[in-house]
């Protein structure tokens, strides 16, 4: 990036040429040198920011390549390729045992692949685990968490790990505690919460961090009541619009079709279909809904 000092050293003729290259309107022929330098620097910084954002928008936040995972003789994931760009919600759907949870656990660095690679925000999970892990928020399928912390302590702990300033953390904690109606449980121990409330507490814990995030959510709607599910879906759409990249595993097809921009359908470890709902419907002529696409790709539509 061009520094101010470089621009200040330029001759007047060079400055004017640079201003023309940057398409800066120069209305006053006798513009003061100092203010011309100011205008040029503002433009250079704006471009840098724009190029940075464009670069981010055009490079996948999640990149899974040729992923294979075996557990002994059992093949859980077979040759998976999957990308999620910033500004997208992708649904990883499939019946029980399809390999969804295994994929998300490898993506978040909890278990290692047999072969293949995963990248988060440009960082390889095996070569660069710390930046890769710090870029991703994860809700596991079976939420487990420090049982002897209260919800308030847990959320504060998450904010500190991710270096969120205290005042901002407090405002966000309030926002998400209200969103997920956790107020009466703020001072309850995590170990005493129901599955649904535990899931809400974990959600508050990842949302207290700075957006936009890369999110990997394993069946996130499963333990929520209709209001919690509604609020979560609305907030995920907002994050998506702000540039988050979100990968959601689910076997609840209503949730998937309602929320996701694209789908990757897995069955027994392999991808059996992918695309937008329109593309999937076009590829499966007899199917009239995501449910029927899903059924015909994963063993056939029952008679
Ligand atoms: N730790 C493990 N040890 C042995 N087999 C496993 C393990 N984890 C998952 N599997 C097997 O891998 C397959 C995929 O499981 P999983 O990723 O949990 O599927 P999904 O989340 O789509 O239901 C299943 O057959 C499951 O039994
Ligand atoms: Mg699972």
Radius of gyration of the chain (CA): 24
To test the pocket of ligand 1, the residue of 97, 113, 139 to mutate (highest count of ligand atoms within 8 Å of its CB) is 97
- C-alpha of residue 73 to centroid of ligand 1, in Å: 12
**43 pLDDT band (50/70/90 cuts)?**
confident
- The pLDDT of residue 28 is above 70: no
Angle CA 227–250–109, to nearest 5:
110
Mean pLDDT of all residues belonging to the chain: 89
Q: Is 85 left (phi over 0), alpha (psi -120 to 50) or beta?
A: beta
SS3 state of residue 234 = helix
Region 136-140: mean pLDDT is: 91
When mean pLDDT is compared across 48-57, 103-112, 164-173, the lowest value belongs to 48-57
pLDDT: which is higher, 178 or 23: 178
pLDDT for the residue 274: 95
Pick the CATH number of 66-122+213-303 from 3.40.50.300, 3.30.390.50, 3.40.710.10, 1.10.10.10: 3.40.50.300
Query: Mean pLDDT over residues 280-303, rounded?
Result: 85
Q: Give the nearest ligand 1 atom to 266 CA.
A: 22
> 181-232 pLDDT, tens per residue?
999 999 999 999 998 899 999 999 999 987 778 999 999 887 788 888 999 9
Ligand nearest to the CA of 142: 2
Among 64, 68, 70, 71, residue to substitute to test ligand 1 (most atoms within 8 Å of Cβ): 71
What are the residue ranges spanned by the domains of the chain?
4-58, 66-122+213-303, 142-212
Which contiguous run of DSSP H or E holds residue 274?
A: strand 270-275
Residues in the ligand 1 pocket, defined by CB under 6 Å: 71, 74, 76, 94, 96-102
CB contact set of 70 (below 8 Å; sequence gap of 6+): 76, 114
The yes-or-no verdict on residue 251 having pLDDT over 70 is yes
Half-sphere exposure (Cβ direction) of 74: Cα atoms closer than 13 Å: 7
Looking at residue 256, its pLDDT comes to: 86
Query: Quick one: pLDDT band at residue 253, thresholds 50, 70, 90?
Result: confident
pLDDT at 287 > cutoff 70: yes
Strand pairing partners for 259? Answer: none
Q: Label residue 272 by pLDDT band (50, 70, 90).
A: very high
Q: In this predicted structure, what is the pLDDT of residue 1?
A: 63
């Amino acid at each position: 990036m061009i520094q101010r000092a470089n621009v200040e050293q330029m001759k007047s003729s060079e400055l004017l040429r640079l201003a023309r290259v940057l398409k800066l309107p120069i209305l006053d022929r006798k513009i003061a040198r100092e203010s011309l330098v100011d205008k040029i620097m503002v433009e250079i910084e704006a471009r840098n920011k724009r190029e940075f954002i464009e670069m981010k928008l055009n490079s996948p936040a999640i990149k899974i390549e040729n992923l294979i995972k075996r557990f002994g003789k059992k093949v859980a994931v077979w040759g998976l390729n999957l990308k999620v760009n910033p500004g997208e919600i992708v649904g990883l759907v499939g019946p029980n045992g399809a390999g969804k949870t295994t994929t998300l656990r490898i993506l978040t660095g909890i278990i290692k692949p047999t072969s293949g690679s995963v990248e988060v925000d440009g960082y390889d999970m095996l070569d660069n685990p710390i930046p890769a892990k710090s870029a991703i928020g994860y809700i596991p399928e079976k939420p487990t968490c420090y049982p002897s912390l209260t919800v308030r302590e847990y959320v504060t702990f998450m904010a500190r790990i991710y270096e969120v300033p205290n005042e901002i953390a407090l405002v966000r904690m309030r926002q998400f505690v209200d969103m997920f109606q956790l107020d009466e449980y703020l001072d309850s121990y995590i170990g005493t919460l129901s599955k649904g409330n535990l899931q809400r507490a974990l959600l508050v814990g990842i949302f207290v961090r700075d957006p936009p995030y890369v999110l990997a959510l394993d069946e996130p709607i499963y333990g929520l009541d209709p209001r919690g599910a509604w609020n979560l879906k609305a907030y995920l759409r907002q994050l998506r619009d702000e540039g988050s990249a979100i990968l959601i595993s689910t076997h609840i097809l209503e949730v998937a079709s309602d929320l996701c921009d694209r789908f990757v359908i897995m069955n027994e470890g392999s991808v059996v279909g992918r695309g937008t709902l329109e593309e999937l419907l076009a590829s499966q002529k007899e199917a009239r809904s995501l449910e029927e696409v899903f059924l015909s790709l994963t063993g056939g539509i029952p008679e």
